[in-house]
Structure 1
């Protein structure tokens, strides 16, 4: 008897899997950009994942992997969605050798849980993407997500030594560390990082870890204008000091962040969060010399967040704007990248393009990395002026050798605009890799660059 007559058909090989969930109530709220899955697979083992992909490939059943869901807004609208594969059952630490500063973990483990395991041995993974306490390792790697501390520690491509991947036909392949050397002539570890799960489903990752710093603080400074804040950040970057993070927040985000960490609202407009890590004496010196530099550029030191307060401060920043009362279906989050010298012009261009839109907006600058995050809230459906502004921002960043990526956008915008922008000269290589690893185009179809 068919217990779910209203649900679309799935191949017999998928229907026979014991881990398949087709209950409409369980599928409620799991749509990806309007595409509702026909079934949900809750993976518990690597072999189970391989079997699911093998059967999906036979029946040309499209698959989208999912972890905690913090990055599901990334990417274009999928061409189709048959199966949503919940990876959180793969959550073990496979191998950890503290003396070698390496750890291998399954992709469904949350970064917060992995950090707890490492902290017990005085170590950590220097990674702080959005929602870093709950985001899963696989989702972070698939999106190449990073955070403020990329300034000193780098990104995932600097940390990942190797990985185990299940390809579209169900084959289990290993690349990089802890495996047979890759002889294709192409570094496939870096190829899978940031590929949004379109080449294969990442099952395990081996990473380099670091000793926990003796001390970590956030030095909080305020400035009347973004120009003075950027001048201060430039001086910090060219000094003998080594800031671990440099985030410049506009008045909107400054007020929201202060509220979340329990700081009183300041009189100045723009807020700078400066991360310092290191030995006790070194951090003391950096705080002292950093304060002198801030004051010299017309800023004011509002205080410091130390130890647990620093952790709370960075976590609060990683989870904004979800602390705010906003409708995520009407939210645009754009990531503008550009040469570091153009940071001031990027702020002016964002303000020029969004000033007359009549919606709330906020922006922040990753001042040491040349990245601006711009947000628009309560975006009305079909607003042509919004489209023109986004197109203008994309044209501006492109003219300076950068790009605009829409990490989050309403469905009506995604249906009219490629969230990744121009793919560039590398598109031919991306397409060749896709044909090699997923010729049936069953993995995250259409969601990546160039509709891959």
Structure 2
């Protein structure tokens, strides 16, 4: 395993960081950042450790700053459908708080009891329910960020219709902490569906499975997520549907009928647990596994030949039709050299052994016009490269 977090040390791409600081408040975090910077040291920011495999080879890292005790729900206003949380709050913790008020956020994580909201935000990773509910980037209405000198900057607020200040909410999303340490996120939340179902279908080939998945995606039945994935020699389709209790069975049956009309299935069932439909995704993107995990941007109409090609090459595949993304995973020892250059060139490598990261930007190619902008932003927010140095795009 190339990246991990334990109580007294952090390992990033095989390199041990033994000095771990664990602030319990934003004020303490600011003090730690100020001290580390004054001492000329470099820090790595970590949360639950479930996404440490993602990022370029960086460093050096003299200090790891753990956010796990910055884990409070600062404010929750169910009537206004907003909440404010510290970055160390876990996805499971947030789900539990919202469920008590019959509200929700469509956050799909491999290990929700350990995965943090700050890690999900900084890694820029969304799940299949992005189709029906949008991504985390769309829900953030305010943010607070500490710079390397400990200064805390704020943008946005606690109301949904908010245009206050520079759009720092989008700047820090997916930036792996390159421009500062997130200390607070203000989020808009949503009513929870009163019932959900998982539609599970099995087919003999990728083409037939994917055609059924496309039919469901394009239907007026409004699925919450649509996945097409391989299981040995078979191909499966998993669809989540959300609806009021009185309508959920009718909706599930209509989805089953539509899918089987589009392509003859070997098996077709509706399962009462809506989370089942998300498991092909959440089990594949377990970044702590030590496997190679890749994400490819492909709209649904272009996915079929690619998922077939990847499966033939021994990849475990999960196509997220609603997001226009294909995820694939294989053991680290299998390497990546056999992937077509056209695919590899567009890939984002979510997890790679350190030996395969050498000389590679795991984020893929950066548009020529964007690179100088990112460089100027890094120079403005972290000119001495003190925070998460080298982990972001272009080695920033």
Q: CA deviation at 1:193?
A: 0.8
Separation in 2, partners of 1:218, 1:45: 41
Q: Tell me which residue corresponds to 1:438.
A: 382
Q: 1:75 to 1:195 in 2, by over 3 A?
A: same
Structure scoring higher RCO (CA < 8 A, sep ≥ 6) equals 2
- Note the alpha carbon deviations across 1:284-304, whole angstroms, 9 max, x for none: 332122111121111245322
For the pair 1:62 / 2:42, whether they are aligned, the reply is yes
Q: CA deviation at 1:239?
A: 1.6
Q: Tell me which residue corresponds to 1:389.
A: 338
- Note the alpha carbon deviations across 1:310-368, whole angstroms, 9 max, x for none: 33663575244769xxx944x2101111233211122144246xx3xxxx531111122
RMSD of aligned residue pairs (Cα, Å): 2.3
Q: CA deviation at 1:225?
A: 1.1
Is the 2:88–2:117 contact (alpha carbons within 8 Å) kept by the matching residues of 1? yes
Is the 1:27–1:37 contact (alpha carbons within 8 Å) kept by the matching residues of 2? no
For the pair 1:343 / 2:303, whether they are aligned, the reply is yes
Structure 2: gaps of 5 or more residues:
1-5
Counterpart among 338, 356, 379 of residue 413 in structure 1:
356
The SS at the match of 1:280 is coil
Q: CA deviation at 1:407?
A: 0.6
Instruction: State TM-score, norm by structure 1.
Output: 0.80
Is the 1:132–1:315 contact (alpha carbons within 8 Å) kept by the matching residues of 2? no
Aligned residues: 387
Is the 2:42–2:60 contact (alpha carbons within 8 Å) kept by the matching residues of 1? yes
| Structure with max Cα Rg | 1
Structure 1: gaps of 5 or more residues:
1-24, 253-267, 381-385
Q: Tell me which residue corresponds to 2:237.
A: 272
Q: How does 1:342-381 map to 2 (within 5 A)?
A: 342-351=302-311, 355=313, 361-379=315-333
Q: CA deviation at 1:216?
A: 0.9
Is the 1:130–1:146 contact (alpha carbons within 8 Å) kept by the matching residues of 2? no
Q: Tell me which residue corresponds to 1:264.
A: none
Q: How does 1:21-420 map to 2 (within 5 A)?
A: 27-28=8-9, 30-178=10-158, 182-184=164-166, 187-252=167-232, 269-296=234-261, 297-306=263-272, 309-311=273-275, 314=278, 317-320=281-284, 328-329=289-290, 331-351=291-311, 355=313, 361-379=315-333, 386-390=335-339, 392-393=340-341, 395-396=342-343, 398=345, 403-420=346-363
